[in-house]
Structure 1
């Protein structure tokens, strides 16, 4: 066998090994957030099969990956957690800004404070969290967090609150007249008392928008995309943009520093920046994405949904949950612990 033949065989062997290594991609994502159609299309175009493992909170995902050896390739952290992932060296600097489809990203989502210039991550979905009400049973103002923090009689005992510390704390702080990441202990005692007093009127604290389908709950503090899905079942469901202040979130896909299949993972990040593919995510998860031109491929009823389109009069009330200092986060955690007792 000649040297040239040996080299050719060696090259083919190496290519086969690489293909086998990148034959599967492990996505670690929020539950009910990944379009099966998207994964089928990616496999058809690339030959790479994607498996999905769900998590229920940013803390859960972070703890799993911090422990090491997770075997996952891609994770989808929220904006306020992204600086933690980056600063701890948990993410690969995969440079989405140099990928072919990066030009499709809406400029609004490029120079974001949690990933300036997008060196690590690609938008997955973005949205808001606010009050959700069955208007058949409640005819008052929907655009206020008083619905669950100072609930009217007709809603007491019929309220569910999403069990996300930062979302709840942000809303309660803004409702009480403060600013996010405040460390004013006297003020935060007022926030704590507000939450504890309100909790006696809540039925539950869980991920349960489906409880509105059966009318087990008549109001929720929940996410806009989930509210859209609830309205598809019961047309009287209405989502509100809290005038006191509501938080905006964005979850972004990023590659883990120890990803077993980094090249396939890069293919996936580039893939979801194509408008038609970003639309597949939105059509399934029912939130907005950060890719220009995706609207043309989205379901008409989703594209025009009031839950996903912030009214001009409430746009200024929206804000981001920046990453608070550790000592501030410690205070918020103590309040949260009191609330869960």
Structure 2
């Protein structure tokens, strides 16, 4: 019987991807993920169950990751971009189609992560973790009350002066300033950009450093008394320093989602799909949440998660703060260029 070679190859690939625990695959997987965002024990479990050897490399921002891929570096099979970056990478032709919605475990993906704005059919991505961006302060080291406002960190003479760390992230910092000023974060107005720059430039002398990595260790060691942080990092900070408080700024804060994708030039795309399908299993997604201290999008994973996560308001957000969340969106090229100019000028 005549069989098309492409259909036969697809069938064989699917057999490797979707057969039971006894199925094993040879070869390697090169994973490129955010710093402190991959559980080593989970990778060892994956290696034991599949026979695929995983090599991990890390980055500190979406832009760093994108620049490396665009320069042809790394040779990665799976990377973990945020929502807006998935959209950019798809439009730039940097990703392979993986049809995550057809993977067996995808049925457990909860809304709105099953049909996100940046990949509504989940052709290119699968969910990993999601969270929010606010700031954390040490209530034992700060005199007086702290307002639930971005002004608490943007005020150059505020309670954290000289002992404040900001993220080294142009999008997060620019967005926070825009929220505080009531300006569209995707503004194309030079006047608006000037107001944002003026706010950030006035704050800069009060900032000890701009760094997205090591925020938990920095706060735990008392090197700074406040840090712009993702909520999962805020949880880990509180574990080490119980006096830490995570703030949901009333002017608005970013709601983000990170995703698993396969670069166009991945050398091991079949192994990449095996890994992504494996991560959709509730027990693996739950283990990932326990390590990252962020929520995942997989129904049933809560049975495998630490109870301490649900007890912390930084992770289990009080419902009254729901209206403060601002889902990610991609700005126009003109708006991105304006934001980049503000950031470059600020950091020069």
Q: Which residue of 2 aligns with 1:137?
A: 141
Deviates more, 1:59-68 or 1:195-204: 59-68
Asked which structure has the greater CA Rg, the reply is 1
Query: What is the TM-score normalised by the length of structure 2?
Result: 0.89
Q: 1:201 aligns with which of 179, 202, 206?
A: 206
Does structure 2 retain, via aligned residues, the 8 Å contact 1:192–1:335? yes
> d(CA) in 2 for partners of 1:69 and 1:129?
29
Residue 246 in 1 paired to residue 253 in 2?
A: yes
Structure-2 change in CA distance of 1:153 and 1:317 (3 Å): closer
Q: Aligned equivalents of 1:244 and 1:162: distance in 2?
A: 18
2:241 and 2:27 map into 1 onto residues whose CA distance is 42
Task: Report if the CA contact (8 A) 1:73-1:256 is conserved.
Answer: yes
Q: Deviations over 1:187-214 (max 9, x none)?
A: 2211110111011111111134122112
Q: Is 1:56 equivalent to 2:60 in the alignment?
A: yes
- In structure 2, the partner of 1:7 is none
Q: Distance in 1 between matches of 2:45 and 2:341?
A: 45
Q: Which moved more, 1:288-297 or 1:164-173?
A: 288-297
| Contact 1:241 1:310 (C-alpha < 8 Å) held by counterparts | no
What secondary structure sits across from 2:187 in the alignment? Answer: coil
How many angstroms apart in 1 are the aligned matches of 2:309 and 2:190? 42
The correspondence of residues 1-341 of structure 1 with structure 2, limited to 5 A, is 22-68=26-72, 70-138=74-142, 139-150=144-155, 153-206=158-211, 207-209=213-215, 210-341=217-348
Determine the C-alpha separation between the residues in 2 that align with 1:69 and 1:230: 33
Deviates more, 1:157-166 or 1:64-73: 64-73
Name stretches of at least 5 consecutive residues in structure 1 with no aligned partner.
1-13
In 2, the alpha carbon distance for the partners of 1:20 and 1:104 equals 24
1-structure distance, mates of 2:220, 2:140 = 13
| Farther-moved stretch of structure 1 (247-256 vs 310-319) | 310-319
Could you tell me which runs of 5 or more consecutive residues in structure 2 were left unpaired when the two chains were aligned: 1-11, 17-22
User: 1:9 — aligned with what?
Assistant: none
Alpha-carbon deviations, 1:163-207, whole Å to 9, x = none? Answer: 100000111001001122012222221111011101111111113
Once residues 171 and 87 of structure 2 are traced to their aligned partners in structure 1, the CA distance between those partners, rounded to angstroms, is 15
Contact kept in structure 2, 1:131 and 1:241, CA below 8 Å: yes
Secondary structure, counterpart of 1:53 in structure 2: strand
- Residue aligned with 1:113, SS: coil
Maintained 8 Å contact 2:156/2:202: no
Task: Compute the displacement of 1:148 (Å).
Answer: 0.9
**Distance in 1 between the 2:114 and 2:147 partners?**
32
Q: Secondary structure at the match of 1:249?
A: strand
Q: How big is the shift at 1:159?
A: 0.4
Q: Secondary structure at the match of 2:266?
A: coil
Task: Check whether the contact 1:149–1:198 (CA below 8 A) recurs between aligned residues.
Answer: yes
- The count of residues paired between Structure 1 and Structure 2 equals 326
Q: TM-score, normalised by structure 1?
A: 0.91
Q: Cα distance 1:260–1:21, how it changes in 2: closer, same or farther (>3 A)?
A: farther
User: SS at 1:25's partner residue?
Assistant: strand
Flag the 1:155–1:70 CA change in 2: closer, same or farther, 3 A: closer
Q: How far off its partner does 1:20 sit?
A: 11
1:131 positional shift: 1.5
Deviation at 1:67, TM superposition (A): 2.3
1:137 Cα deviation (Å)? 2.6
Residues 143 and 242, structure 1, Cα contact 8 Å, conserved in 2: yes
